[in-house]
Amino acid sequence: MTLIYAGLSLGAVYALVAIGYNIVFIASHSFNFAQAQLMMIGAFVTYTGYVTFKLPTVAVLALAMVVVAVLSAIEERIAIRPVSDHQTQLITTLGFGTILTGVAQLIWGTQPLQVPFFAGAEVLTILGGRVFPVEVALVVFAVALVVAITFYTRRRMGGLAVVAMSQDEEAATLRGIDVRMLAFAAFAVTGVLGGLMGAAIGPKTFAVASLGAALAIKGFVALAIGGFGSMYGGLLGGFAIGLVEQYVARYLGSNFTNLSVFVLLLLVLMIRPTGLFGRVQERTV
């Protein structure tokens, strides 16, 4: 049971990255490589808020959200908007993410920092398995976020508009939707969420500059397994990777975790290139 909890909570971290990718992907069909690095900054800001400034939890979360949202908005302006094609966007967002990693190293150094969690670090025992409070919180947070986003996209005009835009940008424009503005807003919102996510994952993963690269790729795998654009898919993909990693590490050795995730990715993509919950592109003649 302990293994399952560990797998699920690790998976929740990957799922959060995938959710970030997904929001941007749904809104503008681009892929924000820097998403994980934004979360990494969120984790560092959380650390600074708690440890250096000794701020209360609410203020720390607000700080993390604001900082990351601002960075995210800057990224949209300098790395996404001036670049027209998605291939080059991958390179520019990778560049932006690399800058974030470099800046984080300059400010916070290369040693992992222990980010405190507001609910403490006492081990809980649930159904015979041992689990940290932050791990429970991560799983709950990831699931709640997916439910909330799904609700928003089905019940609010803004959400309807984003979904409409992802299907047919031109038709959305002709319904009076400001497609560019909305894509920008989606980026900023991802930033706000990224700050929150950083605060949530920090206590589990530690705040460390190298977090970005590892999370970026695992988050992508979660997305690819679940299917681009599918929120529930990203969640399940994340949990699947988390569990595979924990079980492989336990029974085969930690050298094999990345390898097994890679094999899993290739298998899923070869069998279902659109992912488990991805929509098959509709043919338009």
Partner 1 sequence: MLQLWTAVRKVPTWVFPAAIGLFVLVLPLLGPGYELTRQIELTLILALVVSGLNISLGYAGQLAIGQAAMYAAGAYTAGMLSSAGHTDLLLQIVAAGLAALAVGILTGIPGLRLGSWSLAMTSFFLVLLVPDIVDIFEEDTGGHLGLSTMLNPTLFGRSLAPDAMYYVIVIVAIIWFAVFRNVVASRHGIAFQVLKQSPVLASSVGMSVFRTKLTGYAIGAVPAGFGGALLANLDLFVTPEAFTFHMATGALAASILGGSMSVYGAVFGASIIQFNNDQSSNFAEYSLVFFGAFLLIGGVLLRGGVAGLLRTGIRRLDRAAGLWPRRPAGAAGGGEAGGGAADAVDLPPIEGGALEVDAVAKAFGGNRALREVSLRAEPGQVTALIGPNGSGKTTLLNLVCGFYRRDAGRITVAGTAIDGASPHRIARLGVTRTFQTPLIPPGVSVAEVVISGRYTSDEVGFLSAVLRGPKFRRIRRHDLARAEDMLRLVGLAHLFDTEAATLPLGQRRMLEVARALVREPKVLLLDEAASGLDEAEVETLAAVIRRIRDAGCAVILVEHNFGLVLSLADRIVVLARGAVLAEGTPEEIENDVRVRDEYLGIVEPGDAPAVEEAGTLPERTAK
Partner 2 sequence: MTTPLPDVPLLDVQGLATGYGDLRVVWDVSFQVWPGRVTALLGRNGSGKTTSLRAVAGLNPVHGGRIEYDGRRIDRLAAHRRVKAGISYVQEGKRVFRQQSVEDNLRLGGYTLGVRRSALDADCDRVYELFPVLREKRRHPAGSLSGGQQQMLAIGQAIMAKPRLLMLDEPSGGLAPSIVAEVMSRVALLKESGLAILLVEQAVEAAVDVADHVIVLDIGKVTLSSPVGEIDDLERLKDVCMGRVPAIDGAGEP
Q: Give contact residues for partner 2 (rule: CB under 8 A).
A: 154-157, 160-161, 163-164, 167-168, 170-179, 279, 282, 284
Name residues whose C-beta falls within 8 Å of residue 104's C-beta, 6 or more positions apart in sequence.
37, 40, 41, 44, 209
The single residue among 38, 45, 94, 139 that binds partner 1, judged by CB under 8 A, is: 94
Cβ–Cβ under 8 Å, residues 211 and 219: no
- CA–CA distance, 206 with 44 (Å, rounded to integer): 9
Provide the minimum distance between the beta carbon of 276 and partner 1 in the complex, in angstroms, as a whole number: 15
Give strand pairing partners of 129: 126
When asked if residue 283 is in the footprint of partner 1 (CB under 8 A), the reply is yes
When asked if residue 276 is in the footprint of partner 1 (CB under 8 A), the reply is no
Tokens of 164: 């409409």
When asked if residue 39 is in the footprint of partner 1 (CB under 8 A), the reply is no
The single residue among 70, 98, 136, 243 that binds partner 1, judged by CB under 8 A, is: 98
| Residue placing its CB nearer to partner 2 in the complex, 85 or 170 | 170
Name residues whose C-beta falls within 8 Å of residue 206's C-beta, 6 or more positions apart in sequence.
43, 112, 113, 114, 115
Name residues whose C-beta falls within 8 Å of residue 34's C-beta, 6 or more positions apart in sequence.
75, 79, 93, 94, 96, 97, 100, 212
Provide the minimum distance between the beta carbon of 46 and partner 1 in the complex, in angstroms, as a whole number: 22
When asked if residue 258 is in the footprint of partner 1 (CB under 8 A), the reply is yes
* Residue reference for tokens 């400001």: 178
Tally of CB atoms within 10 A around 260: 16
| Residue placing its CB nearer to partner 1 in the complex, 34 or 131 | 34
Q: Which does 176 bind (CB under 5 to 8 A by kind): partner 1, partner 2, none?
A: partner 2
The residue ranges that bind partner 1 (CB under 8 A) are 31, 78-79, 82-83, 86-92, 94-103, 105-106, 213-214, 217, 220-221, 224, 255-259, 262, 265-266, 269-270, 273, 283, 285
